[in-house]
């Protein structure tokens, strides 16, 4: 038996197919993964993401420590509530984990991946050194993600007046507290929406309110196809400790200035740039029938070979799509080996759908 979120019994009552995900018993779907995917793109749905790890960072040197720990720079967070996406790297420049960082009244809040919780906590503790910093894992909290074009409007009608006002004022990549709730305009689907951190004992009642208001529960299956269409990396597949952000379409999340900020992994990244980055992460579209899957070989004529890191059928596009790591010289065409046969694929930017719009 795996770990369970406060909503486990509700998932069972709603008919969810439960699966193991990083040691957690989580809903894969509640009947139709494809319909759940469309529901988020067209309207909105609610995900239980209480398995994610929330860590509050406080202390007089919290900013300086995060500037050392992260490839992005928290100095960019001008004002309470602002958020940024970053990775923490090892000394070789590999991705230990990716996360969202919020600036709060008391310091900073990190939201990191569920499956990497133990390695993340161990890594962060090991990097504390002489910094005057406190790490507080908030295991007493739950987290819900409500995503889709109508998400904010529908949630604003269900919550208190002050929380409704906050939802209407939030800018993208901003999160603020209202009482014991923390409401952020972030997500992992390529759609607008909210991620709400709240006390675990309040989560089942609020989840029930959402479902009662016609907001469909959405499982991990649709979450994966939604994030793939949006070109968002999944830790353990598209990124891991042997892959640098330069080879994972994450160069934009590295803050090189100021030049004197010596974040962990910086020297390795600079060496990689100087030598020439060998691989890049691209998008693939299969125009014929078939399904692209992780670990299938990608062949590029006169260039070399790569590998699919994530692949699936795209419900929005009605085509099979993938993210793949390939040689940097790869242009606009390639081939993928599926069950011993080679199929032509189109190479595109690794973002297929955003805000309901097709980008390929």
Predicted confidence (pLDDT) per residue in 298-353, tens digit: 999 999 999 999 999 999 999 999 999 999 999 999 999 999 999 999 999 999 99
Element (H, E) at 34: helix 33-42
CA proximity to 255, closest of 74, 127, 80: 74
Query: How far is residue 268 from each of residues 135, 242, 243, measured CA to CA in Å?
Result: 27, 12, 12
39 pLDDT more than 80? yes
3-state secondary structure of 33: helix
Cα angle 285, 290, 291; round to 5? 70
233 pLDDT more than 90? yes
d(CA 189, CA 97) in angstroms, rounded, equals 19
Predicted confidence (pLDDT) per residue in 93-114, tens digit: 999 999 999 999 999 999 999 9
d(CA 9, CA 207) in angstroms, rounded, equals 12
3-state secondary structure of 169: helix
* Cβ(83)–Cβ(100) below 8 Å: yes
d(CA 264, CA 281) in angstroms, rounded, equals 22
44 pLDDT more than 90? yes
292 pLDDT more than 90? yes
1 pLDDT more than 90? no
Q: What is the helix, strand, coil percentage profile of the chain, to 5?
A: 25, 35, 40
Mean pLDDT of all residues belonging to the chain? 97
The token pair that represents 54 in the structure block: 């929330």
Predicted confidence (pLDDT) per residue in 12-33, tens digit: 999 999 999 989 999 999 999 9
The token pair that represents 66 in the structure block: 């995060």
The token pair that represents 307 in the structure block: 């590998």
Q: What is the pLDDT of residue 2?
A: 85
d(CA 348, CA 354) in angstroms, rounded, equals 14
Residues of the chain above pLDDT 90, percent: 98
139 pLDDT more than 80? yes
**Terminal-to-terminal C-alpha distance of the chain:** 42
* Cβ(245)–Cβ(251) below 8 Å: yes
- Any idea how long the chain is? 360
d(CA 62, CA 307) in angstroms, rounded, equals 39
């Amino acid at each position: 038996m795996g770990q369970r979120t406060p909503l486990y019994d509700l998932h069972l009552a709603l008919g969810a197919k439960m699966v193991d995900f990083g040691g957690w018993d989580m809903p894969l779907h509640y009947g139709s993964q494809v319909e759940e995917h469309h529901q988020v793109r067209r309207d909105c749905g609610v995900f239980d993401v209480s398995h994610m790890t929330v860590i509050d960072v406080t202390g007089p040197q919290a900013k300086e420590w995060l500037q050392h720990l992260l490839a992005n720079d928290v100095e960019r967070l001008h004002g309470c509530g602002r958020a940024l996406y970053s990775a923490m790297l090892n000394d070789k420049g590999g991705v230990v984990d990716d996360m969202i960082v919020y600036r709060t009244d008391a310091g900073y809040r990190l939201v990191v991946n569920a499956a990497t919780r133990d390695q993340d906590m161990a890594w962060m503790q090991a990097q504390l050194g002489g910094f005057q910093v406190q790490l507080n894992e908030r295991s007493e909290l739950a987290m819900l993600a409500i995503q889709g074009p109508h998400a904010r409007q529908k949630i604003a009608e269900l919550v208190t007046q002050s929380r409704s006002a906050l939802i209407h004022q939030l800018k993208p990549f901003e999160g603020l507290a209202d009482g014991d709730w923390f409401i952020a305009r972030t997500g992992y689907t390529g759609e607008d929406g909210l991620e709400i951190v709240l006390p675990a004992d309040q989560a089942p009642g609020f989840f029930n309110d959402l479902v009662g208001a016609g907001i469909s529960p959405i499982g991990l299956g649709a979450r994966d196809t939604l994030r793939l269409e949006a070109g968002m990396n999944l830790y353990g597949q598209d990124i891991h400790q042997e892959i640098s952000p330069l080879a994972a379409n994450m160069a934009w999340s590295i803050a090189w200035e100021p030049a004197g900020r010596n974040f962990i992994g910086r020297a390795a990244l600079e060496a990689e740039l100087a030598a020439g980055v060998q691989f890049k992460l691209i998008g693939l579209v299969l125009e014929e029938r078939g399904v692209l899957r992780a670990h299938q070989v990608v062949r590029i004529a006169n260039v070399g070979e790569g590998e699919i890191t994530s692949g699936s059928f795209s419900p929005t596009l009605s085509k099979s799509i993938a993210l793949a790591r390939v040689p940097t010289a790869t242009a606009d065409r390639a081939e993928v080996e599926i069950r011993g046969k080679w199929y032509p694929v189109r190479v595109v930017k690794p973002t297929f759908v955003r805000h309901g719009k097709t980008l390929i």
